[in-house]
């Protein structure tokens, strides 16, 4: 559901497979720890979609299917077309669908939406979480989604403002803020549409915006059991990108936090929190 830097491409090789496995773990830990947010945001979607939640739903950038299955739980009749560029992610999604007994209600489609759009057929609801900023031409994508939605259909765009925050300010001190600043610098080059005004883009594509909303998450101790593993997975994925971006002292502190055998490990700390924001737009095709 949230990607925190998820690449929606076509990676190759052993290293890429390992990277996708770690990303899949992080996405599923995100959903487990932020289960309250998942329930809140899908209830919000349900409120806007109404009877259309029982129709055909398109999940763009579905990852392992966190959004797919959360939306299916809102309706016993809905069918989801789940789209991602990753073979690995879609296989995980298919396995989960079989395990939940909903494989007949889920159609997994592999596609690089910067290259060519498959014919998804007409849909009633489009859900896209932490994906639109990855596209090279999001305006063209929104125009295609306008044509894919039935008249009166609902488009929900969820975007993020980066990694969640986990650490107290005393660690480093201020280490996590420097990590976020470095990541923002990296993302400005790699994902220039992150942080865009999606309301303006939606209106420009012909949609009528029904609501813009910010979902704020702030979890304090006692945290869910998976929170330490979530912090470990998230900061562990960030660590390789920070070479040359942070001081040697900061990198050493980060390595200590990521070392499961150290007493300061993220997996052993009792002073973590989970803080995140998600930005949401519900827009209608007239």
Residue 104: give its domain's CATH number.
3.40.50.150
pLDDT > 70: percent of the chain: 94
Counting the structural domains of the chain, the total is 1
Query: pTM for this structure?
Result: 0.92
Per-residue confidence at 143, pLDDT binned at 50, 70, 90? Answer: very high
pLDDT, position 97: 98
Is residue 32, in this structure, part of any structural domain at all? Answer: yes
97-123 pLDDT per residue, tens: 999 999 999 999 999 999 989 999 999
Angstrom distance (rounded) from CA 270 to CA 106: 40
Is residue 252, in this structure, part of any structural domain at all? Answer: no
pLDDT tops 70 at residue 2: no
The residue-averaged pLDDT of 226-253 equals 96
Residue numbers of the domain that contains 198: 13-169+193-221+275-284
pLDDT, position 19: 87
For residue 217, the cross-strand partners are 276
Cβ–Cβ under 8 Å, residues 176 and 167: yes
Task: Please report, for residues 26, 267, 277, the alpha-carbon distance to residue 262 in angstroms, rounded to integers and kept in the order given.
Answer: 21, 9, 30
DSSP annotation string for 21-61: HHHHHHHHHHHHHTHHHHHHHHHHHHHHHGGGGGSEEEEET
151-207 pLDDT per residue, tens: 999 999 999 988 899 999 999 999 999 999 999 999 888 888 988 899 999 999 999
Is residue 253, in this structure, part of any structural domain at all? Answer: no
Average pLDDT, rounded, for the chain: 93
Is residue 2, in this structure, part of any structural domain at all? Answer: no
Per-residue confidence at 222, pLDDT binned at 50, 70, 90? Answer: very high
What are the residues whose beta carbons fall under 8 Å from the beta carbon of 15, sequence distance 6 or more?
A: none
The residue-averaged pLDDT of 53-81 equals 96
pLDDT, position 192: 87
Is residue 7, in this structure, part of any structural domain at all? Answer: no
Is residue 40, in this structure, part of any structural domain at all? Answer: yes
Q: Which helix (H) or strand (E) holds 201?
A: helix 198-204
Report the b/e string of 138-161 with b at 16+ CB within 10 A: beebbeebbebbeeebbbbbbbbe
Is residue 163, in this structure, part of any structural domain at all? Answer: yes
5-15 pLDDT per residue, tens: 444 433 333 34
Is residue 150, in this structure, part of any structural domain at all? Answer: yes
């Amino acid at each position: 559901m949230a990607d925190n830097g998820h690449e929606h491409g076509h990676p190759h090789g052993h290293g890429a497979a390992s990277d996708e496995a770690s990303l899949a773990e992080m996405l599923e830990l995100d959903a487990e720890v932020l289960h309250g947010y998942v329930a809140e945001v899908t209830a919000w979607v349900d409120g806007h979609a109404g009877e259309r939640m029982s129709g055909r739903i398109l999940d763009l950038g579905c990852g392992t299917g966190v959004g797919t299955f959360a939306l299916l739980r809102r309706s016993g009749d809905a069918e989801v077309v789940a789209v991602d560029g990753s073979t690995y992610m879609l296989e995980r999604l298919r396995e989960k669908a079989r395990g939940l007994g909903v494989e007949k209600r889920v159609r997994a489609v592999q596609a690089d939406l910067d290259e060519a759009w498959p014919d998804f057929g007409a849909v009633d609801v489009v859900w896209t979480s932490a994906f639109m900023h990855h596209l090279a031409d999001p305006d063209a994508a929104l125009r295609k989604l306008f044509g894919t939605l039935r008249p009166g259909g609902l488009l929900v765009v969820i975007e993020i403002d980066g990694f969640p925050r986990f650490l107290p300010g005393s660690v480093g001190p201020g280490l996590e803020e420097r990590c976020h600043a470095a990541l923002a610098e990296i993302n400005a080059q790699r994902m220039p549409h992150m942080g865009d005004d999606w309301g303006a883009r939606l209106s420009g594509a012909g949609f009528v915006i029904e609501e813009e909303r910010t979902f704020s998450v702030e979890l304090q101790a006692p945290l869910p059991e998976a929170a330490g593993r979530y912090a470990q997975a998230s900061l562990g994925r960030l660590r390789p990108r920070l070479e040359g971006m942070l001081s040697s002292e900061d990198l050493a502190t980060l390595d200590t936090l990521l070392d499961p055998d150290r007493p300061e490990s993220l997996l052993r700390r009792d002073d973590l929190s989970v803080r995140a924001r998600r930005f949401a737009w519900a827009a209608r095709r007239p």
